[in-house]
Amino acid sequence: MMRLKLAIARALRVLTRRVGRRGGTTLPGRVLLRLDPRTIAVLGKRLERGSVVVSATNGKTTTSAMLAAVLERGGAEVVNNRAGSNMNWGVATALLDAGDAPGQIGLFEVDEAWLAPVARDLDPSLVLLSNLFRDQLDRYGELELLADRWAELVAERDGRSTFVLNADDPLVADLGRDRRRVVYFGVEDRSHSLESLEHASDSKRCRNCGHEYLYDAVYLGHLGRYRCPNCGRERPQPQVAADKVTLRGMSGSDVRITTPAGAIELSLPLPGLYNVYNALAATAAALELGASPAQVREALGEFAAAFGRVERLRVNGREVAILLVKNPAGANEVLRTLTLEDGALDLWIALNDGIADGRDISWIWDADFEVLAGRARHITCSGTRAEEMALRLKYAGVDGEIAVERDLARSLDSAVAGGNGAPLYALPTYTALLELRDLLADRGVARRWSD
């Protein structure tokens, strides 16, 4: 029976991809799950080397791509959902694509809300959890509830999975307490500490007793060195740690990572501390899966950006760098990294309110667009809620010229044309990124997203 269902789904896959555009990464999996809800469990068993799942609010696509690059450098056959299709149907489609060749390992990024059901089906040998930030409250509900659901899953899988966890995120680190197989990663370079918690910080209170945490260092959002002065819970000591980090603006970072297998001097071609965290997470997981430090250094040293995550393209002769923004913590990191660049910035910000973006655009008032004040030359606002994005910038004190054009193609063209030789930084929300990708693919500037 399963063979017939697979044949139907495969035929659909051929059809949707021939038609082109999106859908090829989701529709076959959706149909397959409809035909048989056990699809992921059944197909997952065909993976000879088992599977790994990666989840986080921010960075799961990049972290998964980094981990895949390291494993592939070691000769592994990696099955993954590369296009960021990270609900259960995306995983099902990837498993369908994989077939039953021997020696494969599954590596799946999974949406935070889908983590528990997908992990139950896949029975992964390793679960990598990086961070939980305020994101799409209309879809996920409160952060603490999401953390509770993760905690249930971790308790259930204790002894069956190794957990690779971010020591610097109290919501995530807490999941590993009293668990059998846990590897922690974290940042140990205090020169990157912010002066205080960012406005949008969550999880300021101890998961155990509710008292407010004290932070010695804050690196990003609520990530840092924390302890509870009431019950004594504190950040666990990371086994895989970035103890020397030099940020080189948009061009990348130099990072020394200490690990039980020795130190790794990494030259990372992706910018910002958030990508240092992604690299740390991928390193910790890769070493746990048997990769060597040299493999990590080489694969991450020449890592190319994942879909829309600091991707660089040329549009009408001008360099355009695409940086996905989707929630306050992620947007703050992107903005902070941009302000490391010299000179006045040209930006194109596309704010959509599709279901995959979160229908609620309140989050733009939590993100610190104030850092652009005095730093922007020209900003074009686009997307379904373009006017409200522009208003946010006005009240953030951004003094550059602000243009509003809801249509993506028209706004991009005028933003590109208004250039002064410097790159244009394109900051789309998720569905705006998909539209942008289609638009650029139609023009032959970028590859189709399912390629």
Q: Which residues of this chain interact with another protein, rule CB under 8 A?
A: 134, 137-138, 141-144, 199-200, 204-205, 210, 328, 353, 359-366, 384-388, 390-392, 394-396, 402, 404
- In the bound complex, what is the minimum distance in angstroms from residue 144's beta carbon to another protein? 6
Q: Which is nearer to another protein, 387 or 442 (CB)?
A: 387
Q: Which is nearer to another protein, 104 or 131 (CB)?
A: 131
Q: Which is nearer to another protein, 73 or 392 (CB)?
A: 392
Instruction: Find the helix or strand (DSSP H, E) in which 71 lies.
Output: helix 60-73
- In the bound complex, what is the minimum distance in angstroms from residue 88's beta carbon to another protein? 21
> Which residues on adjacent β-strands are paired with residue 227?
214, 234
Q: Which is nearer to another protein, 281 or 334 (CB)?
A: 334
Q: Which is nearer to another protein, 369 or 425 (CB)?
A: 369
Q: What are phi and psi of 27, to 5 degrees?
A: -60, -45
- Distance, in Å, from the CA atom of 230 to the CA atom of 321, rounded to the nearest integer, reads 46
Where does residue 375 rank: exposed (0-12), middle (13-18), buried (19+ CB within 10 A)? middle
Q: Which is nearer to another protein, 29 or 221 (CB)?
A: 221
Q: Which is nearer to another protein, 222 or 297 (CB)?
A: 222
- In the bound complex, what is the minimum distance in angstroms from residue 180's beta carbon to another protein? 29
- In the bound complex, what is the minimum distance in angstroms from residue 33's beta carbon to another protein? 23
Q: Which amino acid is residue 403, in one-letter code? A: A
Q: Which is nearer to another protein, 143 or 434 (CB)?
A: 143
- In the bound complex, what is the minimum distance in angstroms from residue 34's beta carbon to another protein? 23
Nearest to 115 by CA among 78, 72, 71, 163: 163
- In the bound complex, what is the minimum distance in angstroms from residue 385's beta carbon to another protein? 6
Q: Which is nearer to another protein, 20 or 397 (CB)?
A: 397
Place of tokens 């902070």: 336
- In the bound complex, what is the minimum distance in angstroms from residue 149's beta carbon to another protein? 15
- In the bound complex, what is the minimum distance in angstroms from residue 148's beta carbon to another protein? 11
Question: Residue 5, Cβ neighbours under 10 Å: how many?
Answer: 18
Q: Which is nearer to another protein, 46 or 205 (CB)?
A: 205
- In the bound complex, what is the minimum distance in angstroms from residue 347's beta carbon to another protein? 17
- Distance, in Å, from the CA atom of 187 to the CA atom of 244, rounded to the nearest integer, reads 9
Place of tokens 């209309």: 138
Edge-to-edge order in the sheet of strand 264-268: 77-80, 104-109, 51-55, 126-129, 162-166, 182-187, 240-247, 253-258, 264-268
Instruction: Find the helix or strand (DSSP H, E) in which 27 lies.
Output: helix 27-35
Secondary structure (3-state) at 252: coil
- In the bound complex, what is the minimum distance in angstroms from residue 382's beta carbon to another protein? 12
Distances (CA, A) of 110 to 57, 98, 347: 10, 17, 30
Distances (CA, A) of 353 to 138, 214, 278, 359, 382: 11, 36, 27, 5, 12
Nearest to 60 by CA among 364, 334, 281: 281
Q: Which is nearer to another protein, 100 or 138 (CB)?
A: 138
* Per-residue exposure over 434-443, b if at least 16 CB sit within 10 Å of its own CB, e if not: bbbbbbbbee
- In the bound complex, what is the minimum distance in angstroms from residue 367's beta carbon to another protein? 8
- Distance, in Å, from the CA atom of 173 to the CA atom of 298, rounded to the nearest integer, reads 28
